[in-house]
Amino acid sequence: MSKKQDMFYFENFLACTEYACQAAHLLEKVMADFDPDVLPEKLEEIHVLEHAADEKKHELLDVLVKAFITPIEREDIMQLSQCIDEITDKIEDVLLRIYYNNVRSIQPDALELTGVVIRCCEAVRDLLAEFSDFKHAKKMHEHIVRINTMEEEADRRYIASMRDLHTTCSDPLVILSWREIYIYLEKCADACEHVADVVEGVIMKNS
């Protein structure tokens, strides 16, 4: 396989990650400048990003099914592509839940947790920017550790937010609504860590 054909996969991974970063920034902007009346419009914006990421993923799978030789194992390409796509899906899921739970104001700690998700997404982008040269890249382990550390930070913030929600709020509908939103924000960070895990596995298998 030519170098150009090899690069197609790595460039696709990076392009899909860029959509996840855009979706995370959009979610943060919606929450920071919260206006329930514009949520349908913002849902459409984030769905455009999610659909574009899906198109990129399908483009990769179309090439993969016809490829004779691939730069890394087919199963790893498929798994990594799916894991990256999952980040954007989970970010969209957060905004969907803000909308259909009829949230009227944003909890400050949810915005802080969203900030962690953004940093996770950007760290995944940094990781995948070096992935095409994974046998020689020097900072990949550092990026993986950074993603794992931020996922742990997201876990801590999630636990603190849930505890605060259940001890300070007396409205059961608000509790149910925000419980679901916090769960999906934490899933966003988990999805980023899953990408790092797959990349780390590829490095180990090819070292």
Of 188, 84, 202, 187, residue with least CA distance to 141: 202
- What would the pLDDT profile of 25-66 be if each residue is shown by its tens digit? 999 999 999 999 999 999 999 999 999 999 999 999 999 999
Cα–Cα distance, 198 to 186 (Å, whole number): 19
pTM of the model: 0.95
Residue span of the structural domain in which 119 resides: 3-205
DSSP readout, 40-109? HHHHHHHHHHHHHHHHHHHHHHHHHHH-SS-SS-HHHHHHHHHHHHHHHHHHHHHHHHHHHTT--S--HH
The DSSP output letter for 206 is T
pLDDT of residue 6: 83
Total domain count for the chain? 1
- Domain containing residue 102: CATH number: 1.20.58.220
